[in-house]
Chain A
């Protein structure tokens, strides 16, 4: 029986989320026997024989619980437990004692121990106590983190105190109480849906439904029926009546995400709906009026979409009564540290771990990166770091190579510029070669074949050089995609 509620994200092994137990006892034979059972129960384990080793271990790894001998050779267990409570308040400590007196129990619990267990150890009881402590820790971490996350958002679930974000908050506050249709523009991962929800929460219809429609996720042939609904028997396969999203949102807000992906015919019908707010289900005899506020969002440039005949100009103008543009993360670096803490807090709670701190050097790398996937990319990276590592500190080595390489590439660009400006010395040949390869890949939309041709190299040589310099094609791809959008 595992009391720890594990939920492994897709693609991750459960082992990566397994709770880690730290045993501190001056008798290595006792540590060995505890390790034997703890590993059998499916946890990971580390045993140390002194308080000094314990503090050292705690610097490196973040255990889910600590089993601590009350009569440790070099220190008093009761004193240690109170120090642990001060420094690592969220790690439960189970005291191990030979003397099971009421006085010992009271002293242990007063000092901050989660529980105590007697020697000779009853392994069935130990198993249950460990399970209980981990579950307790997991729940209290979650409660704390979600409370703190709720308190730490700056504006209706949105995080950021930079000037671009403050402008967005001001615009939302101004536009929310009106019925005006709002168009949200911004690269992928900039928080368009959060902004739409914030508008809904600040509006007079905040207690009414908020219906989000992700247009690319609905097959073209079903989108009309999904939006406007249908009657039973309206077409083959319509076995029951369906109330469309436009009608479900009656009294509230309809959020049309990625509206540029809808085909022309549906855009015409939505335009009509925006004009008269009348819904007619497919196969229905009579239409009826609804009261819906529409918010639309896209990560594409609407003008380009209009030029390419992908977006109806009249539909676009009807949607963009008020336009709000969400800045990409690279344009608001001041928010990165804040967002990092916010997401680490949530990830730690989600996976039942203690919130790690970020070492200054790692934070500088995070802040210096371009974040082509914006806030969503940052959130996923921090999630991944928390899942994979059981440490108290996030170091530069834990960051993916594209982040470290981005910093060195930027340094290289700056260095090259400075050097050419001052004309004192030239960049080295490998530095120039690296820069040329990156530029060629960016120029050829990340195609190695085209870039190799451009550089006069064979494909195999270019692949070898890409590996040699640790050039991340993923980040080049994301950057070139961003440029295409912009």
Chain B
């Protein structure tokens, strides 16, 4: 199960998606959607922390985003969160701000992709993993 940098699990052929029955796929898409909707709030929190220059807290938040976005196979976001973590370690506020902006763009891009995917795959049930 290999994914490209900009792929999500929804880009996999239906029979390779985790337990890819229709209900499961819909729930999975819903979970990604909820996560993408919540990410800007998390990024705002990091911005607020950056104001007070609490780099330990920023690192912790970035660490969390790295793990969870990676689990959702949002690899580009996960990679940027790792970059954010490194910048917090280096206590580099400019780099942190740039990376935060970068993540915002990635979130918007992923959300757009997810919406167009949902529109395309609403034609009918696809073949399940179990056949």
Contact = CB atoms under 8 A, between A and B. Distances in A.
A32 B24 CA distance: 13
B70 interface: yes
Interface stretch (B26-34, B43-51, B90-98): B26-34
Contacts of A30: 67-68, 71
B19 A120 contact: no
Contacts of A36: 24, 27-28, 31
A191 B34 CA distance: 60
Contacts of A163: none
Interface in A101-121: 119-121
Contacts of B70: 119-120
Would you list the 7 A-B pairs with minimal beta carbon distance, nearest first? A120-B70, A119-B67, A98-B67, A120-B71, A29-B35, A121-B71, A30-B68
Which of B35, B64, B69 has the most chain A CB atoms inside 10 A of its CB? B64
B89 to A, nearest CB: 13
Interface residues of A, number: 16
Main secondary structure of the interface of B (DSSP, over half): helix
B31 A120 contact: no
A98 B78 CA distance: 11
A110 B89 CA distance: 28
A119 B67 CA distance: 5
Contacts of B67: 27, 30, 98, 119-120
B3 to A, nearest CB: 11
Contacts of B72: 29, 33
A71 B71 contact: no
Interface of B: 18-19, 24, 27-28, 31, 34-35, 38, 60, 63-64, 66-73, 78
B31 A119 contact: no
B34 A32 contact: yes
A36 B69 CA distance: 15
Contacts of A33: 31, 68, 71-72
Interface string A118-130: 0111010000000
Contact of A123 (B18, B31, B63, B78): B18
Nearest to A28: B38
Interface in A5-57: 26-27, 29-30, 32-33, 36-37, 40
B31 A27 contact: no
B42 to A, nearest CB: 9
12 contacts: A27-B64, A29-B72, A30-B71, A32-B31, A33-B71, A36-B24, A36-B31, A71-B60, A71-B63, A98-B66, A119-B70, A120-B71
A36 B31 CA distance: 9
A29 B34 CA distance: 8
A74 B33 CA distance: 27
Contacts of B38: 29
Nearest to A26: B64
Contact of A98 (B18, B19, B63, B73): B63
B25 to A, nearest CB: 11
A121 B67 CA distance: 8
B68 A119 contact: yes
A307 to B, nearest CB: 67
A26 B71 CA distance: 15
Given A33-B72, A40-B24, A119-B66, 16 more contacts: A27-B64, A29-B38, A29-B72, A30-B71, A32-B34, A33-B71, A36-B28, A36-B31, A40-B19, A71-B60, A73-B60, A98-B63, A119-B67, A119-B68, A119-B70, A120-B67
Nearest to A119: B67
A126 to B, nearest CB: 10
A135 to B, nearest CB: 21
Contacts of A121: 71
Contacts of A29: 31, 34-35, 38, 68, 72
Nearest to B67: A119
B64 to A, nearest CB: 5
A20 B80 CA distance: 35
